[in-house]
């Protein structure tokens, strides 16, 4: 009975860890596997995706990557982390683009592309749905 | 144009030296643009265009190109053309062009022609897609002041500083000049016109209260000119300082904003053989605006705007401009919007004399505006 019990405990623990890593709205924030960050504040992530903050703590550039505007995971991320809908975020970027103050993060087509981008670029940060299998990147809990 | 050449040359040099720091998705040239067509019709008083008969002279087009050269350095420009009644006439100009070096999040520098940060919306006043209304409150964001208030050529320092539990500060300061033109008239010929300086800044505090930001803006500058008036030389110096307090609250689909401003100016005129004469003036402007997105495709908005061009002469229709507006924005597709708007006006302080020469003005009047924009 001990082995099954251990498995139950491990599975339960893994489930808890996953729940912590989930940032809300069924979305997980992911960073490059080499990124030393173990936890991020919701405000930091929002600032990173709105490019108000552009540097990690060690001064490396933050490289956010977005999903396409019609992707359901982007809508959930936008609501739960940026606290505005995708249309409002589009308006935010229209203001910056056409006034010469910034350009939006690159957009990729699907979650596999997000993971590939984050795995390839040391300063990258992205998001995927909580159920997506992660390879070469790590999920960061949002405190 | 000289500034433009310098900015692009430096940008090209740095680009070739350091472009390898970025992933290709970030270093690609970004091209964005917009095209707008509007219409104005008023019950009385020609406003911004020959609106009494209805006017379609309300067009804008812009194209922006930006390239991120490395993680700190960006270069870009925007060409903009418009036609609004007697102004613009589709003459394309550089709306802005800048080399932007963001050394740290709390300190960056832009060199070139940059939009003026004044209040909540001045640097985005041309960007139809960014706003719920056709005409932003004209007491603060007068389109007739666009030549003065839109952009400056010089240096801008900017930054963003998180304050932990206290929220964050967003700040910008600038110093430069701008090109200003006045056309000759039958009685007045322009010999020389200069803007010795324009300076100012804006601080916005993103408060710990979710969605609430408050701030203040300052703008100061001078214009000097030499003219020939009816054959006699005349010198003019205008000095002005403007202050604006701003508040914006965003909660889900609701956006509420309010601003209050004062402007103080001294106009000194010197005529040959006569002592200089200085005329002070003080104006007051304010508005409150609210918008609510009912659905992703529809957003009604309303505002009340009031301006007194001379606080010592508030009485009479020329002494004030009340403007109560209601508007609806439809996002037909993610790249195509349509706005419909109605204004109830009292006063004629914002009515341009040149558009109404010889015609009696009405104190109470109404304006309808429509505008459609495609952007990408």
Q: What is the pLDDT of residues A66-76, one digit of tens each?
A: 999 999 999 99
**Residue B361 C-alpha, separation from nearest chain A C-alpha, in angstroms:** 36
Residue A127: C-alpha distances to residues A15, A29, A136, B245, B370 (Å): 19, 4, 14, 37, 39
* Residue A1 scores a pLDDT above 70: no
pLDDT computed for residue B35 by the predictor: 97
Spatial neighbors of B343 by CB under 8 A, at least 6 apart, are: B135, B323, B324, B325, B366, B367, B368, B369
Kindly state whether A69 is in contact with chain B, defined as any CB-CB distance less than 8 angstroms. yes
**Residue B328 C-alpha, separation from nearest chain A C-alpha, in angstroms:** 16
* Inter-chain CB proximity B98 and A100 less than 8 Å: yes
- Partners of residue B78 in chain A, C-beta under 8 Å: 98, 100
Average pLDDT over residues B179-200: 88
Kindly state whether A109 is in contact with chain B, defined as any CB-CB distance less than 8 angstroms. no
**Residue B324 C-alpha, separation from nearest chain A C-alpha, in angstroms:** 25
Kindly state whether A68 is in contact with chain B, defined as any CB-CB distance less than 8 angstroms. no
Closest B-chain CA to A124: B23
Q: Provide the H-helix boundaries in chain B.
A: 2-18, 24-27, 146-149
Phi, psi of B353, rounded to the nearest 5 degrees: -60, -40
Look at B103 and B148; give whichever has higher pLDDT: B103
Average pLDDT over residues B186-212: 94
**Residue B258 C-alpha, separation from nearest chain A C-alpha, in angstroms:** 19
- Partners of residue B76 in chain A, C-beta under 8 Å: 100
pLDDT computed for residue B359 by the predictor: 86
Residue B246: C-alpha distances to residues A89, B15, B173, B215 (Å): 21, 38, 16, 5
Q: pLDDT band for B1, please (50, 70, 90 cuts).
A: low
pLDDT computed for residue B351 by the predictor: 92
Q: Name the range with the highest mean pLDDT among A111-120, B228-237, B345-354.
A: A111-120
Q: How many CB atoms lie within 10 A of CB B228?
A: 14
Average pLDDT over residues A40-45: 95
**Residue A17 C-alpha, separation from nearest chain B C-alpha, in angstroms:** 27
pLDDT computed for residue B346 by the predictor: 97
> In whole angstroms, what is the distance from residue B14 CA to residue A15 CA?
49
pLDDT computed for residue A24 by the predictor: 65
Task: Classify each residue of B252-267 as buried b or exposed e, where b means 16 or more C-beta atoms within 10 Å of its C-beta.
Answer: ebebbbbbbbbbebee
pLDDT computed for residue A22 by the predictor: 63
Provide the ipTM. 0.86
pLDDT computed for residue B12 by the predictor: 56
Q: How many CB atoms lie within 10 A of CB B178?
A: 19
Q: pLDDT band for B184, please (50, 70, 90 cuts).
A: confident
* Inter-chain CB proximity A54 and B32 less than 8 Å: no
Average pLDDT over residues B208-213: 95
Best of A65, A70, A81, A98 to disrupt the B interface by mutation (most B CBs within 10 Å)?
Answer: A98
**Residue B365 C-alpha, separation from nearest chain A C-alpha, in angstroms:** 32
Residues 33-52 of B with CB under 8 A from A: 34
Kindly state whether A61 is in contact with chain B, defined as any CB-CB distance less than 8 angstroms. yes
* Inter-chain CB proximity B127 and A98 less than 8 Å: yes
Kindly state whether A120 is in contact with chain B, defined as any CB-CB distance less than 8 angstroms. yes
* Residue B11 scores a pLDDT above 60: no
Give the distance from CA B246 to its chain's centroid. 15
Q: Kindly tell me the burial class for residue B218, based on how many C-beta atoms sit within 10 Å of its own C-beta (0-12, 13-18, 19 or more).
A: middle
Average pLDDT over residues B273-280: 92
pLDDT computed for residue B6 by the predictor: 60
Strand residues in A39-104 grouped as ranges (E): 63-64, 66-67
Q: CB-CB: which of B26, B62, B170 is closest to A98? A: B62
Residue B367: C-alpha distances to residues B90, B129, B223, B321, B343 (Å): 24, 21, 33, 13, 5
Best of B19, B26, B98, B374 to disrupt the A interface by mutation (most A CBs within 10 Å)?
Answer: B26
Find, among B371, B354, B346, the residue nearest to B44 by Cα.
B346
- Partners of residue B64 in chain A, C-beta under 8 Å: 97-98, 100
Kindly state whether B165 is in contact with chain A, defined as any CB-CB distance less than 8 angstroms. no
* Residue B277 scores a pLDDT above 50: yes
Find, among B359, B276, B281, the residue nearest to B314 by Cα.
B281
Give pLDDT tens digits for B46-90: 999 999 999 999 999 999 999 999 999 999 999 999 999 988 889
pLDDT computed for residue B186 by the predictor: 83
Residues 335-354 of B with CB under 8 A from A: none
* Inter-chain CB proximity B96 and A99 less than 8 Å: yes
Q: pLDDT band for A16, please (50, 70, 90 cuts).
A: very low
Kindly state whether B206 is in contact with chain A, defined as any CB-CB distance less than 8 angstroms. no
Q: pLDDT band for B125, please (50, 70, 90 cuts).
A: very high
% pLDDT > 90, chain A: 73
* Inter-chain CB proximity A91 and B110 less than 8 Å: no
> In whole angstroms, what is the distance from residue B319 CA to residue B322 CA?
10
| Cβ atoms of residues A76 and A83 within 8 Å | no
> In whole angstroms, what is the distance from residue A116 CA to residue A2 CA?
39
Count of A-B CB contacts under 8 Å: 98
> In whole angstroms, what is the distance from residue B321 CA to residue B312 CA?
15
Give pLDDT tens digits for B12-45: 555 554 545 688 888 899 999 999 999 999 999 9
| Cβ atoms of residues B255 and B300 within 8 Å | no
* Residue A59 scores a pLDDT above 80: yes
* Residue A8 scores a pLDDT above 60: no
> In whole angstroms, what is the distance from residue A89 CA to residue A84 CA?
7
pLDDT computed for residue A20 by the predictor: 42
Q: pLDDT band for A7, please (50, 70, 90 cuts).
A: very low
* Residue B207 scores a pLDDT above 80: yes
């Amino acid at each position: 009975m001990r082995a099954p019990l251990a498995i139950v405990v491990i599975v339960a623990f893994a489930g808890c860890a996953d729940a912590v890593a989930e940032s809300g709205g069924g979305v997980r924030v992911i960073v490059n596997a080499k990124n030393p960050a173990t936890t991020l504040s919701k405000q930091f992530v929002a600032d990173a995706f709105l490019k108000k903050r552009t540097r990690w703590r060690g001064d490396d550039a933050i490289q956010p990557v977005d999903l396409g505007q019609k992707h359901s995971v982007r809508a959930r991320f936008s609501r739960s982390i940026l606290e505005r809908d995708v249309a409002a975020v589009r308006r935010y970027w229209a203001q910056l683009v056409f006034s010469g103050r910034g350009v939006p993060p690159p957009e990729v087509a699907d979650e596999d592309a997000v993971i590939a981008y984050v795995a390839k670029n040391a300063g990258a940060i992205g998001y995927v749905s909580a159920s997506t299998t992660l390879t070469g990147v790590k999920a960061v809990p949002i405190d | 144009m000289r500034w433009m050449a310098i900015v692009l040359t430096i940008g090209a040099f740095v680009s070739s030296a350091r472009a390898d720091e970025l992933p290709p998705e970030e270093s690609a040239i970004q091209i964005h643009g917009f095209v707008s067509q509007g219409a104005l019709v008023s019950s009385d008083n020609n406003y911004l265009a020959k609106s009494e008969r209805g006017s379609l002279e309300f067009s804008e087009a812009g194209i922006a190109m930006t390239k991120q050269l490395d993680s700190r350095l960006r270069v870009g420009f925007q060409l903009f053309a418009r036609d609004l009644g007697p102004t613009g006439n589709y003459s394309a100009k550089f709306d802005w062009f800048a080399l932007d070096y963001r050394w740290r999040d709390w300190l960056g520098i832009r060199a070139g022609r940059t939009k003026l940060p004044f209040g909540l919306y001045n640097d985005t006043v041309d960007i139809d897609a960014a706003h719920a209304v056709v005409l932003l409150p004209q007491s603060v964001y007068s389109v007739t002041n666009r030549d003065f208030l839109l952009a400056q050529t010089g240096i801008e320092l900017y930054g963003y500083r998180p304050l932990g539990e206290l929220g964050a500060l967003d700040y910008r300061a600038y110093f430069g000049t701008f090109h200003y033109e006045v056309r000759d008239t039958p009685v007045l010929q322009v010999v020389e016109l200069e803007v010795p300086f324009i300076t100012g800044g804006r601080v916005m505090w993103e408060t710990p209260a979710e969605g609430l930001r408050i701030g203040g803006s300052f703008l100061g500058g001078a214009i000097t000119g030499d003219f020939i008036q009816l054959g006699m030389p005349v010198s003019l110096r205008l000095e002005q300082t403007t202050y604006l307090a701003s508040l914006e609250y965003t909660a889900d689909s609701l956006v509420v904003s309010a601003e209050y401003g004062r402007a103080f100016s001294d106009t000194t005129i010197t005529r040959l053989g006569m002592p200089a004469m200085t005329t002070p003036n003080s104006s007051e402007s304010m508005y409150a605006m609210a918008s609510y997105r009912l659905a992703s495709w529809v957003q009604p908005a309303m505002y009340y705007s009031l301006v007194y061009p001379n606080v010592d002469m508030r009485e009479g229709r020329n002494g004030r401009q009340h403007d109560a507006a209601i508007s609806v924005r439809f996002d037909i597709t993610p790249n195509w919007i349509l706005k419909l708007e109605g204004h109830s006006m009292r006063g004629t302080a914002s009515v341009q004399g040149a558009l109404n020469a010889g015609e009696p003005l009405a104190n109470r009047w109404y304006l309808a505006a429509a505008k459609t924009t495609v952007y990408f």
